Structure 1
């Protein structure tokens, strides 16, 4: 009997250890420093940081529904209420959004950039890969609508986790959200993405690790992996979506975007970039990326005239 209790105790201890370790990796994923991001972006030819320091911009603070502050910048040099909100990826912050900011500024749009929860200057203790971030995005959109007196178009551009956040937000606000969305390299389902990364990075099976981690994720983070699923809400999104992905992305497979595009009803467009790894479609295909985005924006403008 003593051996049975010892075995049960060892099993419970192992389950708790696995749950804590893997949920820690998810909830408290290591973030890149400002220096890391600046070096990465500069090495990739995005020399945008000095100009950002010098340009006129309005810093803002928006209270999240979850008790922390969302911080960012509204950059509005153009005489237009049309604005793009940029959502960065996991481990990043607004510094990673600057290359996209310049792209949209060059195309005549004003821009809003901000830090997601637990990233950059914003508050929040955990990362939720879009689950809570979508509600923060709702606060940002509401703030911007009030700022522009509910005039003009609002588009949302998201990269990786930011794209997931944008799609989850769009699914929850299908009729009263933004006017269009650009989703660059999102995953389709978080549980599938976790299983994929377990195999790719650690050569580990998803069972029983993911069910254990998922239980602790709910216990500690308040959500389950399957609840973070753009694929589950994509057919509810009425507004136009431009999907973007690099065909050689080995972090989030291009099949994720292809599945989302396939299931999306109504207005949509798809651009599969020939070059680049994960979240590098713009960096490695600047001319075609810009042309694709410009055509999509022109269609948005034309549809409102």
Structure 2
């Protein structure tokens, strides 16, 4: 009986266990499915959280970059921004790059400055976007000047026409009537946003038309320094450039506004070149396109030079820390003109080539001008 009971008990236990096992298996499967679903839900929550965090970080980063780009755009391009480079230069809080380094032509600079102040006559034209542009006209400074010769001297970023005095005087002594315009937003010219040469190329075309309208036989030399040099290079490839423009000289100009700001990212803006400079410059360009109507990449000297046909002289200082000296060769190689020349001045900083080696500089420039104009 004990055995039977034991067996019965065993059978009962065995039968109950099997039944319970089936339920247990079902419950286990249900729990497993629930656990799987929970795991999937947890995983999805984790992924969603990480995506949201990543999106938030990306959004915050994008927001910071946009903000930085906007501020740098205002600082660099907007002449009416309270802390713009233009206002800092005018207030004497920032020293222009052309004031640094040796001035071996200090005597000539002083004489040219006096001549400029005593000889300048005001002249006005209007840009295609109806800004009033102001400039200074200077008569030839020689005994028997040839007729119909004109030189247009374009100053640099945050500069004034007077900074071109020694260049203007040299050309005036060769018999040229010289026009020294103020870039838009500079000195007496209207305009809020600096075009870094790109908007100014059309302003330069307006000045050229002013000369040609008054003298259809005019033969014109274009000369530019720094941003003025970029303006000259961006102008020579314009499809409507009059045949009256005979030759051009650029001194320390950049390949494009994009390249220039990337180069300046480390020195001027203190940005690490590799990981931050490009996004910030891209954001600056986007802000500039929205507000000033142009992007940095389209503002290209190289692209314009591919369409150049007039004689061109390219000059740069080998010690230029503001505009990359390597831009000299890139601009020179891009130039489609059959008559082109270049000059690299050893030891010269930005806009300092004429002051560092005046004899070498003016020998090359004078020879180029005489050859191009048959003087």
TM-score, normalised with respect to structure 1: 0.89
Q: Which runs of 5+ in 2 are unaligned?
A: 1-47, 79-83
Superposed CA offset, 1:94-127 (max 9, x none): 1101111111112222211110000111010010
| 262, 265, 269: which one aligns with 1:195 | 262
1:288 aligns with one of 360, 367, 374: 360
What is the rounded CA distance, in whole Å, between the counterparts of 1:264 and 1:9 in structure 2? 42
Q: Partner of 1:107 in structure 2?
A: 174
Aligned: 1:54 with 2:118: yes
**SS of aligned partner of 1:132:** helix
Using the TM superposition, give the Cα deviation of residue 158 of structure 1 relative to its aligned residue in structure 2, in angstroms: 0.5
Taking the aligned partners of 2:320 and 2:260, their CA distance within structure 1 comes to: 13
Q: Map of 1:11-22 to 2, 5 A cutoff?
A: 11=61, 13-22=63-72
* C-alpha contact 2:235 2:304 (8 A) present in aligned 1: no
Aligned 8 A contact 1:88 1:158 in 2:
yes
Distance 2:281 2:91 in 1: 31
Please give the alpha-carbon distance, in whole angstroms, between the structure 2 residues aligned to 1:184 and 1:11.
Answer: 39
Aligned residues: 299
Alpha-carbon shift at residue 26 of structure 1 (Å): 2.6
| CA 1:51–1:20: 2 relative to 1, 3 Å | same
**Structure 1 gaps, min length 5:** none
- Name the SS of the counterpart of 2:351 in structure 1: coil
Counterpart position of 1:117: 184
> Please, which moves more after superposition, 287-296 or 17-26?
17-26
When the two chains are superposed, the root-mean-square deviation of aligned CA atoms in Å is: 2.5
Q: Does the CA-based 8 Å contact 1:174-1:236 persist in structure 2? A: no
1:84 match: secondary structure: strand
Inter-CA distance 199–11: structure 2 relative to 1 (3 Å threshold): closer
Secondary structure at the residue paired with 2:249?
Answer: strand
Matches within 5 A, 1:1-305: 10-11=60-61, 13-28=63-78, 29-31=84-86, 32-33=89-90, 40=99, 44=103, 45=106, 46-47=109-110, 48-55=112-119, 57-77=120-140, 78-147=145-214, 149-173=215-239, 176=242, 178-201=245-268, 202-205=270-273, 206-265=277-336, 266-302=338-374
Q: CA deviation at 1:232?
A: 1.4
* Helix, strand or coil at the partner of 1:138: helix
- Counterparts of 2:205 and 2:295, CA distance in 1: 21
Q: Is contact 1:273-1:285 (8 Å) kept?
A: yes
Shift of 1:87: 0.4
CA shift for structure 1 position 227:
0.8
Q: Which has the larger radius of gyration?
A: 2
CA distance in structure 1 between the partners assigned to 2:285 and 2:366 by the alignment: 40
Point out the structure with the larger helix share.
2
> How high is the TM-score relative to the length of structure 2?
0.73
Shift of 1:176: 2.2
